[in-house]
């Protein structure tokens, strides 16, 4: 090997080492995966939250005796508001029940005894096909998360750090300095599409999978989830949705299917609350930016209800018959349509 070739290899090696060092240092300063305490620059956007939560959990696993599972809507539930337990919010965007099972098994493997499991059951979880993002291999294989070197020498993580440092996000929600999900102050108020409630309405793409069709296939999946912590108390809830979404279900003749599927899912739990049933909090467009992700004051009411406080919000369907649940739901929807002056069809679906 010539001297020129040796110099080339030396320069290439030094350059590569410097690049890795700069990548490591910048990622450690921003700490998007919360491996070193997080929040080094004051911003925590929804980047690789499933991975960040795994790192965060592994550092406090022995102290946790309660977990929250759900989609991005449940990330906005402040687990610190749950009383009598040290609760960890393991919800993440696009979550499916199959993914909840994977993460629950991982928590059971690395954590201590779990006394309570809180599960948000989204309308899209009740469809015949409710797959979400693929679960990480280390979660499925019950392994430890990747090491600091593996994570922060990674250029893809560097891109996430740069976006965080620049304040770039396409979401209206983020995590605060304690890694609690929050709606950003800059988020707009929800504007329901004016055509919703008609059978021929042009339904926004983001809404399509939430309005059906529905099936009872979620129940056996939830039963499998229940078996992960057989001695825990399981509390389920349907997260809030703007009433216009249910008006569209009724127009599409899928609302009875939703009620049947949610009622079947509720039978798996020790207690189950439907916070989606039309209510003034859900109808107030200032409380949400898209009709399905709600601000802190609404999620705090959810936490209080789960704690056993009679907040007047939602409906507990654990002790109801199916027809009682259906009647209550349709009565609430009729009140909304009457008050809003929308042209939705009323009565049965």
245-271 pLDDT, tens digit each = 899 899 889 999 999 999 999 999 999
Give pLDDT, residue 127. Answer: 81
CA distances from 127 to 22, 210, 227, 333 (A): 46, 8, 22, 22
* Average pLDDT, integer, range 162-181: 82
CA angle 175-180-185, nearest 5°?
Answer: 55
pLDDT at 38 over 80: no
As given in the structure block, the two tokens for residue 140 are 């499925």
pLDDT at 224 over 60: yes
Share of the chain above pLDDT 90, in %: 56
208-212, 317-321, 328-332, range with greatest mean pLDDT: 328-332
pLDDT-derived band of residue 209, with 50, 70 and 90 as boundaries?
confident
Per-residue burial over 210-224, b if 16 or more Cβ lie within 10 Å, else e, is bbbebbebbbebbee
* Average pLDDT, integer, range 327-348: 75
pLDDT-derived band of residue 162, with 50, 70 and 90 as boundaries?
confident
Lowest mean pLDDT, pick from 64-68, 98-102, 121-125, 154-158: 154-158
pLDDT at 189 over 80: yes
Give pLDDT, residue 46. Answer: 65
133: CB partners within 8 A, 6+ apart: 50, 93, 94, 99
Residue 246 and residue 333 in contact, taking contact as beta carbons nearer than 8 Å:
yes
pLDDT-derived band of residue 202, with 50, 70 and 90 as boundaries?
low
Give pLDDT, residue 156. Answer: 83
CA atoms of 52 and 31, how far apart (whole Å): 9
Q: Which domains, and CATH codes, for the chain?
A: 31-340 (3.40.50.1110)
Give pLDDT, residue 130. Answer: 57
326 Cα distance to chain centroid: 26
* Average pLDDT, integer, range 184-202: 78
CA atoms of 329 and 28, how far apart (whole Å): 49
Residue with tokens 């300095």: 177
N- to C-terminal Cα separation, the chain: 80
Give pLDDT, residue 348. Answer: 42
Mean confidence (pLDDT) of the chain: 87
In 3D space, the residue among 343, 245, 243, 239 whose CA is nearest the CA of residue 284 turns out to be 243
Give pLDDT, residue 346. Answer: 40
Strand runs labelled E in 223-316: 233-238, 271-274, 315-316
Strand-pair partners of 237: 120, 273
pLDDT-derived band of residue 193, with 50, 70 and 90 as boundaries?
confident
CA distances from 34 to 45, 104, 335 (A): 12, 20, 45
pLDDT at 343 over 60: no
Residue with tokens 């350059």: 15
Lowest mean pLDDT, pick from 40-44, 101-105, 224-228, 242-246: 40-44
In 3D space, the residue among 79, 291, 76 whose CA is nearest the CA of residue 175 turns out to be 76
* Average pLDDT, integer, range 227-244: 96
pLDDT at 15 over 80: no
pLDDT at 54 over 80: yes
Give pLDDT, residue 349. Answer: 39
Give pLDDT, residue 196. Answer: 65
* pLDDT tens by residue, 68-101: 999 999 999 999 999 999 999 999 988 899 999 9
pLDDT at 312 over 50: yes
* Average pLDDT, integer, range 198-226: 80
Give pLDDT, residue 330. Answer: 96
CA atoms of 123 and 224, how far apart (whole Å): 19
């Amino acid at each position: 090997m010539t001297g020129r070739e040796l110099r080339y290899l030396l320069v290439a090696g030094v350059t590569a080492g410097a690049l890795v060092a700069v990548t490591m240092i910048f990622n450690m300063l921003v700490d998007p995966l919360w491996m070193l305490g997080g929040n080094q620059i004051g911003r925590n956007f929804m980047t690789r939250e499933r991975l960040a939560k795994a790192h965060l959990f592994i550092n406090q696993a022995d102290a946790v005796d309660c977990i929250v599972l759900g989609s991005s809507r449940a990330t906005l539930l402040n687990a610190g508001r749950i009383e009598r337990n040290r609760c960890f919010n393991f919800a993440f965007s696009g979550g499916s029940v199959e993914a909840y099972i994977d993460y629950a098994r991982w928590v059971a493997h690395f954590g201590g005894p779990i006394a309570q499991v809180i599960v948000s059951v989204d309308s899209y979880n009740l469809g015949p096909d409710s797959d979400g993002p693929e679960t990480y291999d280390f979660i499925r294989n019950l392994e430890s998360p990747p090491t600091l070197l593996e994570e922060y020498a990674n250029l893809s993580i560097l891109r996430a750090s740069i976006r965080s440092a620049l304040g770039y996000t396409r979401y209206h929600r983020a995590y605060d300095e304690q890694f609690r999900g929050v709606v950003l102050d800059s988020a707009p108020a929800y504007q329901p599409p004016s055509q919703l409630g008609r059978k021929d309405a042009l339904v926004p793409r983001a809404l399509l999978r939430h309005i059906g069709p529905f099936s009872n296939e979620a129940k056996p999946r939830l039963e499998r989830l229940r078996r992960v912590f057989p001695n825990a108390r399981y509390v389920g809830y349907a997260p809030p949705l703007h009433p216009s979404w249910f008006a569209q279900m009724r127009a599409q003749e899928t609302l009875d299917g939703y009620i049947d599927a949610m009622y079947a899912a509720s039978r798996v739990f020790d207690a189950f609350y439907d916070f989606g049933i039309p209510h003034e909090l859900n109808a107030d467009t200032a409380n949400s930016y898209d009709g399905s992700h709600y601000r802190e004051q609404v999620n705090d009411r959810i936490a209080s209800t789960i704690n056993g406080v009679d907040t007047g919000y939602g409906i507990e369907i654990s002790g109801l018959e199916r027809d009682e649940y259906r009647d209550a739901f349709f009565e609430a929807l009729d009140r909304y349509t009457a008050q809003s002056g929308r042209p939705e069809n009323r009565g049965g679906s």
